[in-house]
């Protein structure tokens, strides 16, 4: 048997360190499937945290994702990574004296944000309350499965609930991987490539606003919205959490569009604007109407204002 020797000819036993190194390298080689061992696999495995990447690195990630999505959904995607506008803090207003509970907002959101149709994911839940019953302090009495022939139903009123974009978001505090954070314009976002699906954030959210992809998301090809944002409506994966982002792909722009739920509302109950702009619609309603925020006692400071215009 040939003995292993070093350069000087002395016998060199395999050290524990070398053995482990070799084993690790071998295992790593085996872990890469032969058919797909291109650079993309490495890139996705070693992708940095979104906030730690520079512009070029983000562009590279986006190029990779666009290619992946194009293969998977047989459609070409445009993924933006537009940053927050300066001097902007987004706020939302919802007029409870107008809402008729028609659920147009729920499905306009689904259309815009590429939510999975099966298993079904909705960002907006419309709650129906009987007039005179407890409501803000006790949402348990609400019905979210109402389905009469016509709305509004006599003797009832409606309160849609979605992500309240808290200034002090409990969901962000509990995330063990920092996969969710608050952006400078106040939008709480999730990096679907960083989320490990532990669902701590769902437990922490007092508004039940976060949704989990229990299965591989399914969207029919003809219903895909290819205009996306990295932190918003790009297609999600099985096992990640998602939620409302105030349509970040629409609203972050100069000019930026209204969110999809605002535009669809047939009674004009939904308002959106910049809280830092004294002339904005949202500031007008906060200053002139009766306003409240949901579960204000929890000190989450939502930027979602329910109001009564009449």
Partner 1 sequence: MRKVNKFFIPLWLGAGILVLAVGNIARCEEDMPRFFVPPPPFSEGIFPCSDCHADMEVNPERRQLEDEHVEISEMFNHASEQRWCLDCHNPDDRDKLRLANGDLVSFEESYNLCGQCHGTIFRDWKAGIHGKRTGEWNGRKQYRLCVHCHNPHSPKFKPIKPLPPPNNPLEIQYRKLSDEEIPRNPLGNIQ
* Minimum CB distance to partner 1 smaller for 207 or for 272: 272
104 binds partner 1 (CB under 8 A): yes
Distance CA 88, CA 85 (A): 6
Report the run of H or E that residue 117 belongs to, with start and end: none
Cβ at position 296, least distance to partner 1 in Å: 22
Name the residue nearer to partner 1 (CB basis): 216 or 296: 216
Question: 283: burial class by Cβ within 10 Å (0-12, 13-18, 19+)?
Answer: middle
CA distance 4 to 105: 72
The residue within the footprint of partner 1, chosen from 120, 177, 299, 301 (CB under 8 A), is 120
- Does residue number 284 form part of the binding site for partner 1 (CB under 8 A)? yes
| CA–CA dist 213, 237 (Å, integer) | 7
Residue 125 binds partner 1, judged by CB under 8 A: yes
H or E, element range at 155: none
Q: Which of 10, 86, 149, 278 binds partner 1 (CB under 8 A)?
A: 149
Question: In this chain, which of 61, 219, 244, 275 binds partner 1, going by CB under 8 A?
Answer: 219
Distance (Å, whole) CA 100 – CA 71: 41
Check binding of 107 to partner 1 (CB under 8 A).
yes
Name the phi and psi angles at 129, rounded to 5: -120, 150
Which residue among 81, 102, 174, 276 contacts partner 1 (CB under 8 A)? Answer: 102
Cβ pair 264, 124 in contact under 8 A? no
- The two tokens of residue 234 are 């790009």
Q: Is residue 147 involved in binding partner 1 (CB under 8 A)?
A: yes
- Whose Cβ is closer to partner 1: residue 194's or residue 212's? 212
Residue with tokens 């989450």, as numbered in its chain: 300
Nearer to partner 1 among residue 46 and residue 145 (C-beta): 145
Provide the minimum distance between the beta carbon of 15 and partner 1 in the complex, in angstroms, as a whole number.
48
Q: Rule CB under 8 A: is residue 272 a binding residue for partner 1? A: yes
Judged by CB under 8 A, the residue of 45, 145, 155, 278 near partner 1 is: 145
Which x/- pattern, by CB under 8 A, does the window 155-194 give for partner 1?
----------------------------------------
Position among 49, 168, 266, 296 found at the interface with partner 1 (CB under 8 A): 266
* 135 touches partner 1 by CB under 8 A: no
Binding to partner 1 in span 221-250, by CB under 8 A: 221, 223
Task: Give the residue from 130, 134, 128, 135 showing the smallest Cα distance to 106.
Answer: 128
Closest CA to 197 of 161, 239, 143: 239
282, 275 Cβ separation under 8 angstroms? yes
Q: Is 254 in the site for partner 1 (CB under 8 A)?
A: yes
* Parallel/antiparallel/unpaired status of strands 211-212 and 241-242: antiparallel
Nearest Cα to Cα of residue 171 among 197, 204, 195: 204
d(CA 244, CA 202): 13
The residue ranges that bind partner 1 (CB under 8 A) are 93, 95, 100-104, 106-108, 110-111, 117-120, 122, 125, 144-152, 214-216, 218-221, 223, 251, 253-258, 262-268, 271-274, 277, 280-281, 284-285, 288-289, 309
């Amino acid at each position: 048997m040939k003995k292993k020797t070093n350069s000087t000819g002395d016998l060199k036993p395999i050290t524990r360190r070398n053995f482990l190194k070799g084993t690790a390298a071998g295992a790593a080689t085996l872990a890469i499937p032969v058919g797909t061992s291109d650079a993309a696999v490495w890139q996705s495995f070693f992708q940095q945290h979104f906030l730690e990447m520079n512009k070029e690195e983000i562009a590279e990630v986006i190029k990779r994702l666009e290619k992946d999505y194009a293969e998977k959904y047989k459609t070409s995607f445009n993924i933006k990574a537009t940053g927050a506008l300066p001097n902007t803090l987004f706020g939302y207003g919802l007029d409870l004296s107008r809402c008729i509970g028609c659920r147009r907002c729920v499905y306009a959101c689904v259309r815009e944000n590429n939510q999975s149709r099966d298993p079904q994911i909705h960002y907006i839940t419309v709650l129906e309350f009987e007039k005179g019953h407890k409501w803000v302090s006790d949402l348990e009495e609400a019905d979210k499965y109402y389905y009469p022939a016509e709305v509004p139903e006599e003797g009832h009123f409606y309160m849609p609930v979605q992500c309240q974009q808290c200034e002090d978001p409990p969901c962000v505090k509990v995330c063990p991987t920092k996969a969710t954070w608050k952006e400078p314009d106040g939008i709480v976002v999730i990096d679907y490539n960083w989320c490990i699906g532990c669902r701590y954030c769902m437990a922490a959210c007092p508004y039940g606003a976060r949704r989990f992809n229990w299965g591989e998301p399914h969207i029919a090809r003809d219903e895909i919205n290819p205009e996306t944002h990295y932190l918003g409506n790009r297609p999600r994966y099985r096992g990640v959490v998602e939620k409302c982002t105030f349509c970040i792909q629409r609203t972050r722009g100069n000019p930026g569009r209204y969110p999809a739920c605002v535009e669809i509302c047939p009674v004009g109950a939904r308002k959106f604007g910049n809280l830092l702009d004294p002339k904005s619609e949202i500031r007008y309603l906060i200053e002139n109407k009766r306003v409240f925020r949901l579960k204000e006692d929890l000190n989450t400071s939502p930027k979602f204002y329910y109001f009564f215009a009449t």
